[in-house]
Amino acid sequence: MIPRALLDHINANYRESLGDLLDFLRIPGVGADPAHASDVRKSAAWLLGYLTRIGLDARLYETPGFPVIFAQYGKTPEAPTLLLYAHYDVAPPGPPEEWTVSPFIPVVRGGLIFARGAVDDRGQLFSVLQAIACTISVDGGLPVNVKLLLEGEEEIGSPGLGAFIREHKGLLCADIVVVVDILKYRSDMPAAYYGSKGLLSVTVDVSGPSVSLHSGIYGGDIVNPADVLVRILGSLKNADGRILVPGFYDRVREVTPEERSDFAALPFDRDGIKAMLGVEPVAQEEGYTPLECVMARPTLSVNGLWGGALPGAPLMIIPASAGALVSFRLVPDQRPDEIYRLLKAHVDSLIPPGIGVNLHIDSCHEPFVTSRDSIAVVIVSRALEAAFGQRPVLVRSGGTSGIVPMLKKAVGVQDIVITGWGDPGDGEHSSDEHFSIENYRRGIVATAAIMYELAIIKGETPAR
């Protein structure tokens, strides 16, 4: 339970901190754009200063890419430790003409803050910082030890995070981890995510003759790399959404009857999705509901295709090479390295003479799922209920968390949950990204509540 005085202080002061958040949002920390590399570093420097100003012991760690910031407060050995993760880099803004505001000139309008990064993840990160600042200010300290792991490469696939975590295991020990980098299930339904899918994304490069050839003169006696590519890709999944790589399902943990019944009880806004995307959502694997497919069944997508003639410029050739990006979203207990081996064996069996196929792993992350009874899930659920006035839904994410499996593996923390306070319609990774000031306030309350709930639950729990 969050103390009454703290809640009053938060409600009385959260608006004052908005000026600082807007300053933060003015720095275009787009890691994917080399022109903004110095702005990502500027964002890190600004954040480091801010963390120090609110009383945290913060330090910047260089990586081969953009720095990681680690900050902490409280080092009482007998107190429980909460590790919070968020990221300070932002996604590219995309085409400026799709925005009604300028992505890096924040605008407050109708209770919403518009800017790239407003919700993902700077606004959510800032709620965490305000919770810490307010608590220190009212209570003179925090009820638990708090560690902050703030990344600057999330939007480019966290290339440097694994090495940082492995090198600083000791620093990262914690009782529970809360990753603040996701949205509510629906704007009126806060959510605790107790699982996320793994990811194996692979570039498939098929090569054949040394140069592209006339498809008439050579179509009868030279194997076409593009033909082989579509034969390989077409063999990976059938029309019922069943993935055909032999052995692919061997380790898939079935959706439990309890989960099936919980997922079935969740609202599923078929019409809203159709209105937004122009197509009706349909379960992509036979025998499962759309939500089960999204949250708990492995999927396979062809993400990109290239080679030979370009659209609008017909050229009747046998291209010298063709390629594709394919990705598998995996569920427990699938292992990306094993799936890669199965994929490779399957692909190798389809390569005709005269053709080379090279597979390159672009991303590789483990799936994760935590018990819904775990301390992290229980604490975050209580905190969200305190902040939003209603019981959150317990769901699994169809997306992939890079950080969670890294922490599990390197640091050994098992008690991890993913949450956040933005709304699904907030334009994350899209145009006119925004964050409601009310969600910002509730995020501060939720973070404060997480700290107090951890203190309480650990107090109730016998010493370990």
DSSP assigned state of 458: H
Name the residue nearer to a copy of itself (CB basis): 141 or 304: 304
Among 171, 266, 283, 359, binds a copy of itself (CB under 8 A): 283
Tokens of 323: 């390629």
Question: Quick one: which of 223, 252, 266, 410 contacts a copy of itself (CB under 8 A)?
Answer: 223
In this chain, which stretch among 21-29, 57-65, 278-286, 443-451 interacts with a copy of itself, using CB under 8 A? Answer: 278-286
Subset of 343-372 contacting a copy of itself (CB under 8 A): 350, 352-355, 362-363
- DSSP strand pairing (416-419 vs 321-330): unpaired
197 binds a copy of itself (CB under 8 A): yes
DSSP per-residue letters across 145-199: EEEEEEES-GGGT-TTHHHHHHHTHHHH--SEEEEE--B-SBTTB-EEEEEE-EE
Contact between 65 and a copy of itself by CB under 8 A: the answer reads no
Output b/e per residue, 343-367; b: 16+ Cβ within 10 A.
beebbeeeeeeebebeeeeebbbbb
> Which residue, 284 or 374, has its beta carbon nearer to a copy of itself?
284
Residue with tokens 């990681």: 68
Per the CB < 8 A criterion, the answer to whether 298 and 335 are in contact is no
Length of the chain: 464
Minimal distance, residue 94 CB to a copy of itself, in Å: 10
Name residues contacting a copy of itself, limited to 383-402 (CB under 8 A).
397-400
Of residues 135 and 419, the one with the C-beta less far from a copy of itself:
419
Nearest to 319 by CA among 227, 231, 217, 235: 227
Residue among 4, 16, 210, 373 that touches a copy of itself (CB under 8 A)? 210
Q: Residue 67 carries which DSSP code?
A: P
Least separation in angstroms between residue 438's CB and a copy of itself is 24
Among the listed residues 148, 226, 369, 416, the single contact to a copy of itself using CB under 8 A: 226
Figure out which of the listed residues 80, 152, 323, 402 binds a copy of itself, where binding follows CB under 8 A: 323
Contact flag: residue 190 with a copy of itself (CB under 8 A): no
Taking residues 153 to 172 in sequence order and writing x for each that binds a copy of itself by CB under 8 A, - otherwise, the string is ----x---------------
Closer residue to a copy of itself (CB): 81 or 327: 327
Q: Which stretch binds a copy of itself (CB under 8 A): 131-139, 316-324, 384-392, 447-455?
A: 316-324
Peptide bond into 188 cis (omega under 30): no
Site for a copy of itself in 417-446 (CB under 8 A): 429
Among 56, 180, 243, 317, binds a copy of itself (CB under 8 A): 317
Q: What residues numbered 324-343 form the site for a copy of itself, per CB under 8 A?
A: 324-325, 327, 329
Task: Indicate which single residue of 87, 122, 147, 297 sits in contact with a copy of itself (rule: CB under 8 A).
Answer: 297
Q: Are strands 68-73 and 57-61 parallel, antiparallel or unpaired?
A: antiparallel
106 interacts with a copy of itself by CB under 8 A: no
Return the residue matching tokens 């993760």. 85
With binding defined as CB under 8 A, does residue 281 bind a copy of itself? Answer: yes
Whether residue 367 contacts residue 330, with contact meaning beta carbons closer than 8 Å, is answered with yes
Q: Please, what is the angle between helix 437-460 and helix 18-25, to 10°?
A: 110
Measured on CA atoms in the order 336, 338, 344, 347, is the torsion positive or negative?
negative
Query: Judged by CB under 8 A, how many residues of this single chain contact a copy of itself?
Result: 86
- Give the residue carrying structure tokens 């787009």: 30
Question: Residue 155 or residue 175: which is nearer to a copy of itself going by CB?
Answer: 155
Element (H, E) at 176: strand 176-180
In sequence order, the β-bridge partners of residue 85 are 149, 179
231 is a contact residue toward a copy of itself (CB under 8 A):
yes
